[in-house]
Structures are given as structure tokens and as C-alpha cells.
Amino acid sequence: MTTLLALHAPFLAQIEDEVVTDGVAVFEALLISAAALIVMSFVGKAVATRQDRDWLPTLIMWACAAKLLGAFGRFWMVTVLYETGDSYSYHMWGGIFAQVWRGMQVPVSQSSQPGTAFTEIATGLIYAPYTPSMLGGFIIFALIAFTGLLLFFLAGRHWLAGYQLKMYGLAVFFAPSLLFWPSSIGKDALMVFFLGLAAYGASRLLKFYQFSAILLIAPGLYMAASIRSHVAAVMGLAIVLAAVFGKAPKKYQGSAKRGIMILLCAGGAALSVLTFSSTFGVTVDGGEGTTSPDQFLSDVSERTATGGSEVEGGAVGSPAQLPGAIIKVLFRPLIYEAGNAQALLSALEGTILLGITIWNLPAMWRNKGRMREKPYLMMAFFYTGGFIVGFSAILNLGLLARQRVQVLPMFFALIAGLAWDETKGGRRKKTEEEEPAPESIDEAVETVIRTGPSRKPLPAPGDH
């Protein structure tokens, strides 16, 4: 390790200069941002369909611009406000490992944390074609996360339409947490991308049962498991449960093709669970010599009950604890819990989201049958529920505010799909039946005399 650092001493000496936002770094970031907006203008037109081409390309452009602003804000927080963060380390090792990748070799990280090691190596691969300044790295990772959000949106489009889809797009692309937190060099941006890839593949599988969907799910789950295996395991199990209990298209019900694809997904989910077990030493089969799940969650609670934003509680142990866990994982901190300006912004979002959820709970309960009709919504339900149970062990609200970006896109899909109908305002418009055209002028005159004048024009004399 010492030799490796010595060989790259010139690069390490530039790290401090790179975090200073000088003119060159700003110009580079603006150049990358401009190129991204141009690319996204074409992407928006390419992914638009006949139903949404009048608004989707514009939405994607504005969303990309907002995401880029989030990257600048995240960079300011890390380098100016706190002057510390994992992004420093990832950027440093990314520059070093980029040179290893250019030499057609796979670098080996010395980190003892599998997720950290993978992120360092992945950052090096991203930096291999061109190693940017730290600000440029933030922009690149923000665009990676934005691509993941776009994949989440496209996944939801298979099951949402009209008003549902527009509201879902606004939530996924413009939620403050999703704009801000996964916009830095690190795990969060990569997780949003890989989970989005897996969700898009799962959506296509549940809709069309095409084997090509496995080619999207498999790398998404594998890469996500390499960073946070517990999250990938929850996603894999949610896909399997939705495929088993959700209503498949008639031509695939009882077909061997569907059974094979469910087995393949089950294998991927099992692999994610085993990866989690081996990474954290947690037993999943009741064996001896490893940590039990209860002990693992207890250790997580103990490690995260620090930092000034810790709360009391622990992992969900009974159904009675579930409501508190839902509020903690998805919505807290609330406004009255904010201790500074940064926490206040997060608290405003959480409080508003809590209000929206409570307001729509009756409709969501009334429309719960849609989950079986639309298996993607069932997948969102199982994934959100599993995420809540797993992350209820975390007792640091600041950490939860950042980690929940991995579940918000699926939670938003659940609200959009269950709480609202496709038409504006959540109410289906009654279609007016067209009145049949009169047989003749005389018949039209008699109708006017009998019922009063009509707003519809009379037929021409030759229309008999």
C-alpha cells in the first residue's frame, strides 16, 4: 500500500487543489453539464411514446438541469460546509485506479469493506476514459444517479398512465432527497442506478415475461449486492414475490416460460441473500458459528446511535412496532425534530410526504386490489416493506435521510398507482355518448320544437 501511494504521490498532491472550485474546474463542470443536457434532449425524445411525447422530453430536460444543480449543492456541502466525506477518498482512489484500468489491469482495493472496495474500483473505471476534477466527478456521479431515476420512471410507465404517470415523474425527478443526496461521488449514486436497472428489468419481466428482462435484472442485482447486499436481497425477494402472487397476462398464466423465469429470479434473490450472509457473517439457515439476524440488527442499532441525530428505538420486532418504523424510515426527521438548517430542509420534505401519504391512505386501501392486477405495484409494496423492516434498525436520522433514496422511487410508485386514477384529479371522467345524427331536416326541426334548441349544428339539406 505504501509503495502504491508513493508511486502516485503527484496525483495525491493535486487532491487538495482539485476540491478548490477554481475557474478550470467550474468550466469543466459546466462543459460536462452542457453535454449532458444535449444528450438528454435526444434521450427524452427517444423514450417518449405517443401518450407522453408532448410533455416527457421537456420534463426530462428540466429534471436533468435540476439534478445538476443538486450536484453543485452537494459538492458545496461536502467541500465547504463540512470539509469532509467519503467522496474525498473515492475521488482519490478513483484517480489512482483509473491509471490501473488504462493499463488493461483490474485494480485491487485494500479496503476491508466490500462495498467500499467495489465503489473505489468502480470509480476508477468511470474515471478511466477521463479523470475529472472532484467537482467534475460529482457531476458525473449525479448523471449516473439521474439515469437510474430515469430507469425507475420507465419501469413505472408500464403500469401507470395519464395523471398517475405525470405525478410519478414529478415525484421521482424532483423530490429534494433524490435531487441532492445521490449527487456525489460514492455508493448512493451507484445504488440508485443499479436498483433502477433491476426495477426496469423486473417491470419488463412482469409485463411481457421476456428472457431479455433477466439481462437487466441480473447485473442490476449483482452490482447492487456488491455495494449493499442487504438492499439487493430485498429487491430480489420483492421481484420473486410479485412474479409469484401477481396476476400474469393470460397467455403466460401456467406457462413453463413463466415458471422458468420465476426460478431464475429466485436464484438471483437467493444469491443476493447469500452474499449478504457471507459479507456480514449473518446466518440465514439457523446454523451455528455466525451472527443471528436479531444480533446483527442489534449491532446496527448500537453502531448508528451516534452523531447528534440519534433517536431511541430499534429494529421491528413485532407488528405493533411497524407504524413507528414506517414513520422513522420514510419520513423522519419531522419539522419539530430539525436542529439546523440542513435538517430543516429534510424535515420539510419528510413532513410534506407524510401528509400526502396520510391523505391518500383511504384511497390506497380502497384500491389495494390493483396490486395483484399490476404486479409491479406488488413488487413496490414488498420492497418498501422489506426496506422499512431492515432499515428500522438504524437510529441515526441523518443517515436514514440519505439512505432512503434507495426506496423512495418505489414508494412513490405505490402511491401513484394506488391513490390516484389515470385522469386528472383522480376521478374518471364520464364519457358523453354522442347523439345520433337526425335522419332529415324535418326530423331535426321537430326535435327542436319538442325539446328546445340544440347546440349541435343542423345537417346540411343534402345530408339525408
**Of residues 187, 189, 184, the one with CA closest to residue 78:** 184
Query: What is the reported pLDDT for 430?
Result: 44
Query: What is the reported pLDDT for 15?
Result: 47
Nearest-Å Rg of the Cα atoms of the chain is: 26
Residues 236-251 have a mean pLDDT of 90
Query: Which amino acid belongs to residue 56?
Result: L
Query: What is the reported pLDDT for 314?
Result: 76
For the cut 50, the answer to whether the pLDDT of residue 335 exceeds it is: yes
How many whole angstroms separate alpha carbon 384 and alpha carbon 378? Answer: 10
Please give the span between the terminal C-alpha atoms of the chain, in angstroms, as a whole number.
93
Find all residues with CB under 8 Å of 152, minimum gap 6, and list them: 172, 195, 196, 199, 200, 409, 410, 413
Give me the residue label for grid cell 429470479: 265
For the cut 70, the answer to whether the pLDDT of residue 9 exceeds it is: no
For the cut 80, the answer to whether the pLDDT of residue 74 exceeds it is: yes
Cβ atoms of 155 and 147 within 8 Å: the answer is no
For the cut 80, the answer to whether the pLDDT of residue 357 exceeds it is: yes
Classify residue 129 by burial, with Cβ atoms within 10 Å: 0-12, 13-18, 19+: exposed
Query: Which amino acid belongs to residue 350?
Result: G
Query: What is the reported pLDDT for 341?
Result: 74
Residues 8-32 have a mean pLDDT of 67
Q: Which residue has the higher pLDDT, 229 or 14?
A: 229
For the cut 70, the answer to whether the pLDDT of residue 267 exceeds it is: yes
Name the 3-class secondary structure at 125.
Answer: helix
Query: What is the reported pLDDT for 455?
Result: 53
Question: What are the structural domain ranges in the chain?
Answer: 2-84+132-425
CB crowding 31-58: b at 16 or more within 10 Å, else e: ebbeebeeebeebbeebbeeebeeebbe
Give me the residue label for grid cell 429534471: 63
- What is the chain's percent helix, strand, coil content, to nearest 5? 75, 0, 25
For the cut 90, the answer to whether the pLDDT of residue 434 exceeds it is: no
How many whole angstroms separate alpha carbon 347 and alpha carbon 177? Answer: 11
Q: Which residues pair with 282 in a beta bridge?
A: 291
CB crowding 404-417: b at 16 or more within 10 Å, else e: bbbbbbbbbbbbbb
185 backbone φψ class: left, alpha, beta (φ>0; ψ -120 to 50): beta
Predicted confidence band of residue 277 (pLDDT cuts 50, 70, 90): confident
Query: What is the reported pLDDT for 3?
Result: 46
For the cut 80, the answer to whether the pLDDT of residue 442 exceeds it is: no
Q: Which residues pair with 87 in a beta bridge?
A: none
How many whole angstroms separate alpha carbon 351 and alpha carbon 371? Answer: 26
Query: What is the reported pLDDT for 135?
Result: 94
**Of residues 410, 418, 411, the one with CA closest to residue 195:** 410
Q: Which residue has the higher pLDDT, 242 or 24?
A: 242
Average model confidence (pLDDT) across the chain: 85
Give me the residue label for grid cell 408500464: 158
Query: What is the reported pLDDT for 458?
Result: 55
**Of residues 294, 341, 285, the one with CA closest to residue 314:** 294
Classify residue 311 by burial, with Cβ atoms within 10 Å: 0-12, 13-18, 19+: middle
